[in-house]
Amino acid sequence: MELKAIKASIDKWNNREVLTSCLGIIDLTSLNSTDTASKIELMIDKVNNFTSNFEEYPSVAAICVYPNFASTVKKRLLNKSIQIAVVGGVFPSSQSFLSVKVDECKIAVAQGADEVDIVLPLSHFLAGEFEEASNEIREIKKAIGEVHLKVILETGALSPEEIEKASMLAMEAGADFIKTSTGKMEPAATPEAALIMCKAIKEYHSKTGRKVGFKPAGGIVTPEDAILYYAIVDTILGKEWLNPKYFRLGASRLANNLLTNLENKTVNYF
Q: Which of 27, 101, 215, 234 is catalytic?
A: 215
215 classed as catalytic: yes
User: Which residues are within 8 A (CB) of 211 and not within 5 positions of it... i.e. 6 or more apart?
Assistant: 201, 205, 240, 241, 246
CA dihedral 87, 88, 94, 96 (to 10 degrees): 150
**Out of 141, 179, 225, 234, which one is annotated catalytic?**
179
Please indicate whether residue 117 is annotated as part of the active site: yes
Of 27, 117, 176, 225, the active-site residue reads 117
User: Of 198, 189, 180, which Cα lies nearest the Cα of 238?
Assistant: 198
State whether residue 148 is helix, strand or coil: strand
Euclidean distance between CA atoms 214 and 154, whole angstroms? 13
Cα–Cα–Cα angle for 258, 262, 265, rounded to 5 degrees: 95
Q: How far apart are CA 230 and CA 249, in angstroms?
A: 9
Q: Is 27 a catalytic residue?
A: no
What's the alpha-carbon Rg for the chain, to the nearest Å?
18
CA distance 41 to 182: 23
Catalytic residues: 117, 179, 215
